[in-house]
Amino acid sequence: MIGINVPQPDITLHLDMDGVIQDATLSHALPHEDLDRWIGRPWVETVSGVGSDKVKRLVEDARWLRVTGFRQINQRFPSGREILVEYATIRLGERDGLIAIGRNLQAVAELQARLVEAQQSMERKYWKLREVETRYRHLFDNADEPVILIRAANLRILEANPAAIRALRTERSDGGEGRAVLGDVAAEDREAFQAMLGRAREHGKSTGILVRLGAHRELWLARASLMSSDTGDLFLLQLTRAGAAGPPQPEADRVPVEELIERGPDAFVVTDRDGTVLRSNQAFADLVELARDQSAVGACIDRWFGAGLDLGGLLAAVRRDGRVRQFIAVVRGAGGRQSQVEISAVGSADVDPHYFGFLLRERSP
């Protein structure tokens, strides 16, 4: 025999033909109430508001039509609690009275209220996201600092702000969107640039390096961080003009500081606050015995120092005193040669410098 699950009413009222309650039962879905206090009372007296008119209609319709449709009524229980109930009435026979069956609509009402609340919450979040997007767009478009979004999968430019378009000096109206960013990096800096992106992919962000960018191969400090998006990972590339203390000067009046440092007889290195090399000259490459196709950029400077030098202590001294002079250390070259050097170091600011410059002068034996 196949069992059929028939929904049970939450409230069942047995009434006489005049609508007086003869018996009342509750299902387990509703809290216990002392319904014996209803016995002998007209059903119309147990409801509130306009419910009395609806009860009269249910009783009258059942007497003449045998079965009524459903009506929603605020049922008031002996404890004083009110619940919205959907009732229908049925005539049992000519003299057997009526039966009213009710379904608790409170759970449905609560579900509808939660649905409305969820919809309102989604709308608030949507408008908040729109506001964030508008602010992001305003900051992105109006930032003085060049910013470029790059797809991590293929290193193609997704978007560049106006400052970046001016920095790259591209002739394309779309800001170079869709083209490979490596095409804007000088050939000699591409390996270091890709290594920087690799560190950003692995650690979420990378320290800055100096690279030559754009049609005129101007020198920029580039920093990258990894971002997630619905279309895949992105690199956020931020550019700062290297050594810029003011607006760029015309080419004829520009002091060739980079060329002078590169040609200097003493080793010169620029690092970030962790000691990662951002820039070094040829004298440093000769001191540490780097091959022509090798670069110190991206490596920590202490890899070439002997065991007697505490890089953390040296950087702390610069932060404390602003500069360090005549610090003696041993430098180990890649080929095994060891040289005793005199180090002078300075920070990029008097308080909490972000960058450090090191001048290494080889001492005579």
Q: Which residues pair with 322 in a beta bridge?
A: none
What's the confidence (pLDDT) of residue 243? Answer: 53
User: For strand 11-15 and strand 21-26, is the pairing parallel, antiparallel, or unpaired?
Assistant: antiparallel
Dump pLDDT digits (tens) for 136-166.
676 777 777 888 899 999 999 888 888 888 8
Tokens (6 digits) for 146: 């060049």
State yes or no: pLDDT of 282 exceeds 50: yes
Q: How far apart are CA 219 and CA 345, in angstroms?
A: 23
**Which candidate, 114, 55, 134, places its Cα nearest to that of 89?**
55
Average pLDDT value over all residues in the chain: 83
Dump pLDDT digits (tens) for 82-117.
888 999 999 998 778 999 999 988 777 777 778 888
What's the confidence (pLDDT) of residue 360? Answer: 92
What's the confidence (pLDDT) of residue 250? Answer: 44
What's the confidence (pLDDT) of residue 39? Answer: 94
**Which candidate, 135, 146, 136, 274, places its Cα nearest to that of 205?**
274
Percentage of residues of the chain with pLDDT beyond 90: 25
Res. 172 pLDDT band, cuts 50 70 90:
very low
Measured from the Cβ of residue 269, the count of other Cβ atoms closer than 10 Å reads: 25
What's the confidence (pLDDT) of residue 126? Answer: 81
**225-234, 255-264, 353-362 — which one is most confidently predicted on average?**
353-362
Alpha carbon distances (Å) from 190 to 179, 193, 277, 295: 15, 5, 16, 11
Percentage of residues of the chain with pLDDT beyond 70: 90
Dump pLDDT digits (tens) for 198-227.
988 888 888 788 888 877 788 888 888 888
Q: How far apart are CA 110 and CA 121, in angstroms?
A: 16
* Residue of higher predicted confidence among 315 and 179: 315
All domains in the chain, ordered by first residue: 11-104 (3.30.450.20), 152-241 (3.30.450.20), 261-362 (3.30.450.20)
Res. 27 pLDDT band, cuts 50 70 90:
confident
Are 292 and 191 contacting, i.e. CB atoms less than 8 angstroms apart? Answer: no
What's the confidence (pLDDT) of residue 174? Answer: 47
What's the confidence (pLDDT) of residue 47? Answer: 93
What's the confidence (pLDDT) of residue 7? Answer: 58
Q: What angle do CA 308, 345, 220 make, to 5 degrees?
A: 120
Stated length of the chain: 365
* Residue of higher predicted confidence among 172 and 47: 47
Dump pLDDT digits (tens) for 8-17.
788 999 999 9
State yes or no: pLDDT of 252 exceeds 50: no
What's the confidence (pLDDT) of residue 163? Answer: 84
Q: Which residues pair with 98 in a beta bridge?
A: 15, 91
Alpha carbon distances (Å) from 328 to 30, 262, 290, 301: 86, 23, 22, 15
